[in-house]
Structure 1
Amino acid sequence: MNDLNKSRLIVRYTASQRINHWIIAITFVLLALSGLALFHPAFFWLSNLFGGGTWTRILHPFVGVLMFLCFAVFAARMWGNNRMTKQDRQWLRQIGDVVNARDEKLPEVGRYNAGQKVLYFALIIFMIVLLISGVVIWRVYFQDYFSVETIRLASLLHALFAFLLICAIIVHIYAGIWVKGSVRAMTRGTVSPGWAWKHHRAWFREVRGKPAVDK
């Protein structure tokens, strides 16, 4: 890529944001694998990746706390760009146009579209429930503070919301691959003006200092 084209690229994520994101991604994979190992005997062989069952039980909650803290920082930094607007609600009502790529019929999208915002808030809920339920079932440190019934309920919620989180991340990965150019944003930090204009036109106008257009 020549220098002229590089100068036209738009910064979507800073280096610190990308590092934070990939730490979350790596810890998520570690938690998914270790969680499956602890969830059912059929998956216990996965514990070999962590040095056996004992080390899996030790490491899983600590990695979970690390992921939650990194996610909390990332979510806080993205909060201002994820508030739902009138255009977002209209975007959701036209989900058929979204699926069928009829972009010309959709309201202009800001830095994140309504689908990304829904996922953002869903992830916050999932993470909070997983943290709280995880603390309850972290018996080495907290077994004396909760009843057996509470621990059982927390175990059920932890498994349920872990499953929901895995599903949400699968959707997130699929969407990132489906929208060509999105992966580059989180690996190199930049997107092309054409990508920004096509997928996030209101954000493009904002970063380029152009007036917004009402639809």
Structure 2
Amino acid sequence: MIEFYASHKLLVWIASISLPIAGCLLYYITFGPHTVSDKGIGPGTLVRRFGIREWISHWLMLLGFLTLAATGFMQIVLGTTLGHLGPFHGMLGVIFFLIALITLLGWVRDALFKQYDWPWLLKLGGYLSHDPKPLAAGRFNAGQKVYYWSILLVLIGLLVSSIIMEQGSHSPAGRKELFWCIHGLLGCVATIMVIGHGFLSLFVNPDTARVLRDGRVSKAYTDKHHSLWRVPR
């Protein structure tokens, strides 16, 4: 895979963007959205899903990821003609990692797997059903927990590979190029994961979309999808 990426970087990146989007469109056409509360939303029907710090972190990570993905992709497409983006991409990457790490560490307790998560995983959260039944979940469901630990590992891999890339002059021949490819592949994995996460949050579960606006969701949504979570007052 590394050898293929080294020879076809642009193709891999295009596939990493277009194929997930195509898959999301196919899913939406087949199953549609899982809407819980599409009307009657008011102050008394909302609960706080994320605090102000978490809300700000979400926006910072979203904007940071989009900028990193864009600058990384542009370097792949145009190569050395945009060499000046490298230092900016690296500096922003370190800042992004620190923000993401602080945010993710704050969710460790909520991301630990519980016994009630296994039925959710076995049924894939009901996402392959036209009439999904409610499944027990805490603040984060099992799918979100899998996403949490996966993205944490990918972020660590991106950071480590970037550090080794910067120290290429002290590495054996070929190692720098190897970790360029590893870094690029991890970037593709992160892109696929974020596309899927955004699709599920904004289109499959549109009740969660307003989280980006004020950190709140409808109580009907938490009652159905996070029934074991003690919603803060």
Shorter-chain TM-score bucket reads: 0.7 to 0.9
Aligned partner of 1:189: which letter? Answer: G
Contact 1:109 1:200 in 2 (8 A): yes
In the superposition, relative to structure 1, how do residues 173 and 208 fare at CA in structure 2: closer, same or farther (>3 Å)?
closer
Post-superposition shift, 1:101? Answer: 5.0
More helix by share: 1
- Tell me the alpha carbon deviations over residues 125-162 of structure 1, each in whole angstroms, 9 at most, x when there is no partner: 11000000011112xxx333322332122111101111
Post-superposition shift, 1:195? Answer: 1.3
Give yes or no for the alignment of 1:161 onto 2:186: yes
Segments of structure 1 that go 5 or more residues without pairing to the other structure are 210-215
Match of 2:51 in 1: 14
Contact 1:12 1:189 in 2 (8 A): yes
CA distance in 2 between partners of 1:208 and 1:60 (Å): 38
Post-superposition shift, 1:96? Answer: 7.3
CA distance in 1 between partners of 2:173 and 2:66 (Å): 29
Q: 1:36 aligns with which of 73, 91, 94?
A: 73
Contact 1:92 1:114 in 2 (8 A): yes
Query: Equivalences for 1:16-95 in 2 at 5 Å?
Result: 16-39=53-76, 43-44=77-78, 53-95=82-124
Give the alignment's TM-score, normalised by structure 2.
0.76
Contact 2:125 2:143 in 1 (8 A): no
* Aligned pairs, number: 192
Aligned partner of 2:66: which letter? Answer: V
Which secondary structure state, in structure 1, belongs to the residue aligned with residue 83 of structure 2? helix
CA distance in 2 between partners of 1:187 and 1:87 (Å): 30
Post-superposition shift, 1:102? Answer: 4.2
In the superposition, relative to structure 1, how do residues 91 and 167 fare at CA in structure 2: closer, same or farther (>3 Å)?
same
Match of 1:179 in 2: 205
- Tell me the alpha carbon deviations over residues 31-78 of structure 1, each in whole angstroms, 9 at most, x when there is no partner: 111111222xxx229x9xxxx613311201011111101100110011
Segments of structure 2 that go 5 or more residues without pairing to the other structure are 1-40
Match of 2:36 in 1: none
CA distance in 1 between partners of 2:141 and 2:180 (Å): 34
Percent identity over paired residues: 23
Give yes or no for the alignment of 1:207 onto 2:231: yes
Structure scoring higher RCO (CA < 8 A, sep ≥ 6) equals 2
Contact 1:13 1:186 in 2 (8 A): no
CA distance in 1 between partners of 2:88 and 2:68 (Å): 9
CA distance in 2 between partners of 1:119 and 1:109 (Å): 15
Which secondary structure state, in structure 2, belongs to the residue aligned with residue 191 of structure 1? strand
Match of 1:212 in 2: none
CA distance in 2 between partners of 1:64 and 1:208 (Å): 33
